A and B are shown apart, each in its own frame.
Chain A
């Protein structure tokens, strides 16, 4: 099937944040372009050197020592947060990172206080981002981060804690109240009793805490373990429905089309939960291309998109963190286990005002005040409180920027998403024009 450059722009924007036109696959066959993107990915772990944990600090260490350690941890987690954003900007495997970003919202887990949990879970999501959903689910369920976040450590024989069991069904697999009962939740909690991790961060089942008695789950009775339950959940096609729906919302649009979700779900289920197969199907579908510019960019998509466009380095982790906070999406710090609600909830009046000016702030070599407010005029006024201002953005190399866009005109490239009949600019544009384009409401869409 023939592929237009508009369709390519859409595909690259949605799958890879932003890619310069000259780096697009040259084929004009949709199947080939999709294949090239999907095949070109690889697990490239996020690296950060963390010292080996000393178990004694937490068992015997003084209060002040533990407090100091917590502070260090928070700083390290903050750095990992910035490193991930930089990685999304510079990586060759942008689609793998884009999928990792999707899964970090799906398997929402607050790890911002713990760099060990953060790094471990993030790399697990990255490793299986385009792999098999079963492997991904098992790895997440066994990760210290999730075990800690959803109180699996407190889930003991005779004293079950249902937190994990409930969210597993409601938010990770089947969807709220789909094919499970309160009784199932209680019995599933029993199957996961004893799940914990050792000091090396490896998953273990503590036999003394594990309830190996008979459980009745989804109408079947047996001495089920946690992994048995995961398989039973995956046998239910409604799990594929739920994942397909989440993928549709993230990669297509907020307005659900039941038929298209069903198609995705069937592909996922019939391929035995191959994420790559589902995504390939999605990117080849005509209806994927009809959704052009019909999604609001998430804050991270917006930031990373700008970062890739202007090759920004975002050197100051703290400022980057503050920007995420104002935009309403801090990596490793979702609002709760349900993740970021997304869609139109990304913007309200104050956030939109900030988002509209973000491009100008970045490309004007702006500085960010220590007290970040949505009023960017205050932030941009470099004269006032200069000593309090943090340098966030480096100078944009405009020459390089204009050199890189040869195939498309600048507005088409910046607004890869805007409706085609709205812009026909062929003349050479200046930096000012680009900044104005970045400041349009249209730029908020992808």
Chain B
């Protein structure tokens, strides 16, 4: 039996399906796309970056008292004000901050902090309270309500982050647009069309299947529109950002991108490893900013950089630090109301289980990103309303 007849008989194809038009073009969806808000790039620092040695409270005694081997002195850091400075590796970040395009937000966390990597990362990804278990991510719920295609949230990795999964709609994780396109558009898959069925689950699988094929094709097309000749640091993080920049420069209809840099779980000999990682963060990110700025694309781009928790104020016996709670995070945007929100809002003399108490709920940051940058109803995504901190001008 020939293959085509077989497929026909097994209900996999119906007549004439070899000429399936790409639905994107058929529906003219590619024409006249206008973004409502800005695009959002999320950068995750996995493992719990030590915020106290990233945004260094060099002017606070308790910092030096608790960090005999790890504390930075004024002479070593990039001074922001009389109390705080940035880690020496963060030169690009410092430039942005001085220009007013980066805000340092200190003491970000949530009530009843969890010090397990898995759990705390889940809480950041889903936006739940510490005692709730949610199965959808905050960006995923944004996709649920505002998007229809996997390519609307892209991550260059082997596995999609929970943050990018909604109840009905999810983003897409790929590592190689070329290979992914070839896989999903093999002759065999091209011949498969959706059966007419009353089975909602079957229809659902076919919907995701078609969307995956279309997204693979669209991302591939956009990706090779224009070769990205900009130089990027030759590490995995830099290359993730280069791929993201290539797509952004193609004017892809993607409002959300996700990148991550891991290894921040610095229990032992923290100074060297954190120095190396923040160096990668700074070099990769600076290349990204320069690349997009050259084409005037930063004005439409907002970046959030976060980690699942900060680290304990007191260093441990191995010249490292243990899991903590509230942490510093960065927002990069061209229209910020300040370059330091809640920077001084940290009390190292009044700790909770050895960690500075949180002052800003991370969901109030999400709320402002959703309502002011993605321009959607934040409450519909987060389930409730949080006190704003007025990030944007």
User: Interface residues, chain A, CB within 8 Å of chain B?
Assistant: 110, 166, 171, 253-255, 293-296, 325-326, 328, 335-338, 341, 344-345, 347-353, 356-357, 371-378, 411, 418-419, 422-425, 427, 429, 432-433, 436-437, 439-442, 444-445
Contacts and interface: CB of A to CB of B under 8 A. Distances in A.
6 contacts: A344-B204, A348-B171, A348-B173, A425-B9, A441-B192, A441-B206
A349 B210 CA distance: 9
A172 B35 CA distance: 45
Contact of A445 (B189, B202, B208, B209): B202
B131 interface: yes
Contacts of A440: 10, 12, 192
B11 A377 contact: no
B165 A348 contact: yes
B133 interface: yes
Given A293-B202, A345-B165, A348-B171, A425 B131 contact: no
A445 B204 CA distance: 11
A111 to B, nearest CB: 13
A441 B209 CA distance: 7
B176 A437 contact: no
Nearest to B149: A349
A150 B44 CA distance: 27
B303 to A, nearest CB: 23
A375 B179 contact: yes
A376 B176 CA distance: 11
Interface string B86-120: 00000000000000000000000000000000110
Contacts of A423: 9-11
A350 B215 CA distance: 10
Contacts of B173: 348, 350, 374
Question: By CB atoms of chain A within 10 A, which of B10, B119, B131, B192 has the most?
Answer: B10
Given A345-B135, A348-B208, A349-B215, A373 B202 contact: no
A374 B168 contact: no
A110 B119 CA distance: 11
Contact of A432 (B3, B158, B171): B3
Contacts of A349: 150, 160, 170-172, 208, 211-212, 215-216
**Lowest 9 A-B CB distances belong to which pairs?**
A422-B11, A341-B135, A338-B133, A348-B170, A349-B150, A349-B212, A375-B179, A350-B173, A441-B205
Contacts of B3: 432-433, 436
Interface stretch (B22-30, B180-188, B355-363): B180-188
A336 B122 contact: yes
B183 A377 contact: yes
A432 B208 CA distance: 25
B159 interface: yes
B202 A350 contact: no
Nearest to A328: B159
Contact of A352 (B118, B168, B209): B209
B18 interface: no
A442 B131 CA distance: 38
B201 interface: yes
Nearest to A337: B133
Interface of B: 1, 3, 6-7, 9-12, 118-119, 122, 131, 133, 135-136, 150, 158-160, 162, 165, 167-168, 170-176, 179-180, 182-184, 188-189, 192, 195, 197, 199-202, 204-206, 208-209, 211-212, 215-216
B158 A371 contact: yes
B197 A295 contact: no
B169 to A, nearest CB: 9
Contact of B159 (A341, A350, A424, A425): A350
Contacts of A374: 158, 173-175, 180
Given A352-B212, A356-B209, A422-B11, A445 B172 contact: no
Nearest to B1: A427
B2 to A, nearest CB: 11
Given A293-B202, A374-B174, 9 more contacts: A296-B201, A296-B205, A345-B165, A347-B205, A349-B172, A352-B205, A373-B175, A374-B180, A445-B199
A326 B159 contact: yes
A294 B199 contact: yes
B6 A335 contact: no
Question: By CB atoms of chain B within 10 A, which of A356, A432, A441 has the most?
Answer: A441
A429 B171 CA distance: 38
A343 B139 CA distance: 20
Contact of A353 (B1, B180, B192, B202): B180
A171 B133 CA distance: 10
B118 A336 contact: yes
Contact of A433 (B6, B11, B199, B208): B6
Nearest to B7: A436
B199 A353 contact: no
A348 B150 contact: yes
A262 B378 CA distance: 37
Contacts of B201: 253-254, 293-296, 445
Contacts of A372: 158
Contact of B183 (A254, A376, A444): A376
Contact of A375 (B119, B170, B176): B176
Contact of B174 (A293, A375, A427): A375
Nearest to B183: A377
A377 B179 contact: yes
A254 B200 CA distance: 11
A409 to B, nearest CB: 10
Given A418-B11, A425-B10, A335 B122 contact: yes
Nearest to B210: A441
A424 B9 contact: yes
Nearest to B202: A445
A348 B258 CA distance: 16
Contacts of B205: 296, 347, 352, 441-442, 444-445
Nearest to A376: B183
B159 A325 contact: yes
Contacts of A433: 3, 6
Question: By CB atoms of chain B within 10 A, which of A255, A338, A357, A377 has the most?
Answer: A377
Contact of B10 (A352, A371, A437): A437
Contacts of B12: 436, 440, 442
Contacts of B216: 349, 353
B273 to A, nearest CB: 17
Given A419-B199, A436-B7, A335 B176 contact: no
Contact of A378 (B160, B162, B176): B176
Contacts of B176: 373, 375, 378
Contacts of B118: 110, 335-336
B183 A293 contact: no
Nearest to A254: B201
B186 to A, nearest CB: 8
Nearest to B208: A352
Contacts of A424: 9
A192 B184 CA distance: 53
Nearest to A437: B10
A337 B135 CA distance: 12
A439 B199 contact: no
Contacts of A350: 159-160, 172-174, 212
B133 A336 contact: yes
B328 to A, nearest CB: 26
Contacts of B195: 419, 422, 442
B172 A348 contact: yes
